[in-house]
């Protein structure tokens, strides 16, 4: 089983949802980088559950402990390890799941892959709880990138069919990115917030859940980073995104819409601006031939509805090999998008930092 990401800046995630602790080890960070822990704490708070009716009631403050690779406020150059103790667990809520697999979860595939030895409580190592240490790692990566002038931001492009407006593909405002981080629902058009909240609360009342799409931008990424074919920027970012539980699709620039465009419409034409080559459009999302063009990197990820719902569902008891019905109990997000944006940003930061480290930029 591999829980590692990256070629040079590598992270390894460990722990289970209802185990003693979860955490992350980050390898090959530069030595002597001063980490602003207040900024790390802010990023962690964006993902933390239990803050509103839009999220799960599980009360985890995601308080981390840095146990290695950090001395006198700076990275030492040795592996940076952070650990988060689990506190608000109710493992009894999952006693039925030892034998009855939940639709939409990794219960069945986990049993197949690990011969039934995996920790099933709360999804174990497959749980979205494991994104907390990823956010820690991403918060550190973001700070390193921001020192280089590279900024990452995300917003909820759609939720249960309610749509926000898209990022301007050429002129993304850095202040807008900073403002998004302070919103419960990060939106470019705040007038759709109440409609989205209503959809989430309606799903909760109906013992159901909803999903949506998150759009992300990387600003001030230098051109010429990445490689064609297997180590393309799209390959690296997409691989990282599909490491996030609930991500079921990734598209760059105009994505699937570009398939219905003509070449004359899809091509990003060039012009000179004070000796710098720029494009009139950004349909390719800032990447051509797997290599960054210098335009903003733009991509979207599709987030599926939370699979843990309280409605009765059909399933199978794998112990008796009989059909059965299942009603999931416990505390679950009716929609994970409000907490997922910071996770997508974290993985993006780790992928971008690794790409730069491989190129030694």
What residue numbers bound the domain in which 11 lies?
Answer: 4-359
Question: Per the annotation, does 305 bind a ligand?
Answer: yes
SS (HEC) of the chain: CCCEECCCCEEEEEECCCCCEEEEEEECCCCCCECCHHHHHHHHHHHCCCCCCCCCCCCCCCCEEEEECEECCEECCCCEEEEEECCCCCHHHHHHHHCECCCCCCHHHHHHHHCCCCCCHHHHHHCHHHHHHHHHHHHHHHHHHHHCCCEEEEEEEEECCEECCCCCCCCCCHHHHHHHCCCCCCCCCHHHHHHHHHHHHHHHHCCCCCCEEEEEEEECCCCCCECCHHHCHHHHHHHHHCCCCCEEEEEECCHHHHHHCCHHHHCCCEEEECCEEEECCCCCCCEECCEECCCCEEEEEEECCCCCCCCCEEEEECCCCEEEEECCCCCCCCCCHHHHHHHHHHHHHHHHHHHHHHHCC
pTM over 0.75: yes
Annotated ligand binding at 126? The verdict is yes
Query: Any known ligand binding at 197?
Result: no
pLDDT at 56: 60
pLDDT digits (tens, 9 = 90+) for 224-255: 999 999 999 999 999 999 999 899 999 999 99
125 annotated as ligand-binding: yes
pLDDT along the chain (361 residues), means of 10: 87 90 96 98 90 62 92 97 83 71 89 85 82 97 98 98 97 92 95 97 95 98 96 97 95 97 97 95 98 98 94 93 89 89 98 95 62
Q: Specify the pLDDT at position 88.
A: 63
Q: Does 47 show up as a binding residue in the annotation?
A: yes
**CATH code: domain of residue 93:** 3.60.150.10
| Residue 278, marked binder | no
Question: Does residue 275 have a known ligand-binding role?
Answer: no
155 is an annotated ligand-binding site residue: no
What's the structural domain count of the chain?
1
103 is in an annotated binding site: no
Annotated binding residue at 89? no
């Amino acid at each position: 089983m591999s829980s590692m990401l990256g070629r040079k800046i590598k992270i390894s995630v460990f722990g289970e949802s209802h185990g003693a602790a979860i955490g992350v080890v980050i390898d090959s960070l530069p030595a002597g980088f001063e980490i602003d822990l207040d900024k790390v704490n802010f990023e962690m708070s964006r993902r933390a559950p239990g803050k509103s009716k839009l999220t799960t009631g599980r009360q985890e403050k995601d308080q981390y402990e840095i146990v290695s690779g950090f001395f006198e406020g700076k990275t030492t150059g040795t592996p940076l390890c952070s650990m988060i103790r689990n506190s608000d667990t109710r493992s009894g809520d999952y006693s039925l799941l030892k034998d009855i697999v939940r639709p939409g979860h990794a219960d069945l595939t986990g049993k197949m892959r690990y011969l039934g030895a995996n920790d099933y409580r709360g999804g174990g190592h497959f749980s979205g709880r494991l994104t907390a240490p990823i956010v820690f790692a991403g918060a550190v990566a973001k700070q390193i990138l921001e020192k280089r002038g590279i900024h990452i931001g995300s917003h909820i492009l759609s939720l249960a069919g309610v749509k926000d407006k898209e990022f301007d593909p050429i002129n993304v405002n850095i202040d807008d990115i900073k403002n998004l981080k302070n919103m419960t629902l990060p939106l470019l058009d705040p007038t759709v917030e109440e409609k989205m909240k209503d959809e989430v609360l309606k799903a909760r009342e109906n013992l159901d859940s909803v999903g949506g799409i998150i759009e992300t931008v990387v600003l001030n990424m230098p051109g010429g980073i990445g490689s064609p074919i297997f180590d393309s920027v799209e390959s690296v970012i997409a691989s990282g995104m599909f490491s996030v539980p609930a991500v079921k699709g990734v598209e760059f620039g105009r994505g699937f819409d570009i398939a219905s465009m003509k070449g004359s419409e899809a091509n990003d034409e060039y012009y000179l601006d004070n000796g710098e080559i720029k494009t009139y459009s950004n349909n390719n999302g800032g990447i051509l031939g797997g290599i960054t063009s210098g335009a903003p990197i733009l991509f979207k990820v599709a987030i599926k509805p939370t699979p843990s719902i309280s409605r009765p569902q059909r399933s199978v008891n794998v112990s008796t090999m009989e059909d059965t019905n299942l009603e999931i109990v416990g505390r679950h997000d009716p929609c994970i998008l409000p907490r997922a944006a910071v996770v997508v940003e974290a993985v993006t930061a780790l992928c971008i930092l690794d790409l730069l480290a491989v190129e030694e930029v």
